[in-house]
Amino acid sequence: MSYFHQQSVRLNFRKLKSSDIESWAEFFVDNTNLHYLGLMNALENEKLNDLELSESWINKQFVRYEESGFGLLAIELKSTGELIGQAGIMRKEVDGETCYEVGYSIKPKFWRQGFASEMSAQLIDYAVENKVSDKLISIIHIDNIGSIKIAERNKMQIVRTSRYADMDVFIYGREL
């Protein structure tokens, strides 16, 4: 199975495209959880509108695809083809260590429907089957209870606390 072409029970995973920018801009509208993502500095300092922020976010994934062969993927409902979120494995430097993080973001109208759990479980399965790394991490804002619960459901445990993107975070980890 290719990293860029995966599927789970309800979802298709694929590479992001420039044509996803407009749809992904919906993620930033009235999203009460943006502060968990370390985006507040970008929002405040660069004064980006939703479309510009979406374009910057997606362009960052194109760079990740080229540099590491990983990055966030577009997540679509199998039933409709609608873009509901992004999820992926990302190579990151955390506390001086190169790590592979499982991350996800979902448009607010699709919250609390089990999609984040389904996305992250699929990515962990991919990482295990393809021996991506000896372990995976998730970087989670200390107040993000929903993501903490998902990490724990995915058999991750707190490894340490840290500072990342000017936020206090838990580093959750799981040996593969």
What pLDDT band is residue 44 in, cutting at 50, 70 and 90?
low
Q: Read off the CATH number of the domain in which 157 is found.
A: 3.40.630.30
Q: Looking at 27-41, 48-62, 86-100, 162-176, which range is the least confident one?
A: 27-41
Number of domains in the chain: 1
Domain range holding 158? 5-175
pLDDT at 42: 53
Secondary structure of the chain in HEC code, one letter for each residue: CCCCEEECCCEEEECCCHHHHHHHHHHHCCCCCHHHHCCHHHHHHHCCCHHHHHHHHHHHHHHHHHHHCCEEEEEEECCCCCEEEEEEEEEEEECCEEEEEEEEEECHHHCCCCHHHHHHHHHHHHHHHCCCCCEEEEEEECCCHHHHHHHHHCCCEEEEEEEECCEEEEEEEEEC
Averaged pLDDT score across all residues of the chain: 92
Contacts with 16 (C-beta within 8 Å, 6 or more apart), sequence order: 24, 58, 61, 62, 71, 72, 73, 74, 86
What's the mean pLDDT in 27-37? Answer: 86
pLDDT tens readout for residues 108-145:
999 999 999 999 999 999 999 999 999 999 999 999 99
Quote the percentage of the chain above a pLDDT of 70.
Answer: 95
pTM: 0.92
